[in-house]
Amino acid sequence: MTGAGPPKGTTSHDLRHHDVSVLLTAGESVVAVAERLGTRTPRSS
């Protein structure tokens, strides 16, 4: 199967950023997303 998975060169940081964007777009609060990621403050992400 070709084309499956993230594009070549995608980093774990890219995936984390994408997930955060999806959650915030879906209406999750910044605090809830920060807690889900295990960050101490929303600013540290």
Determine the structural domain holding residue 16 and report its residue range.
12-44
In a domain, 2, yes or no: no
Tokens representing residue 25 in the block: 């777009």
Give the residue among 25, 23, 42, 22 at the shortest CA–CA distance from 34.
42
Task: Give 32-42 pLDDT, tens digit per residue.
Answer: 998 888 876 66
Q: Is residue 7 part of a domain?
A: no
Q: Please give the tally of structural domains in the chain.
A: 1
In tens, the pLDDT along 12-22 reads: 999 999 999 99
Tokens 């915030």 sit on residue = 24
What pLDDT is attached to residue 43?
Answer: 64
Q: Is the dihedral of CA 27, 29, 32, 34 positive or negative?
A: positive
34 part of a folded domain? yes
pTM check: above 0.85 = no
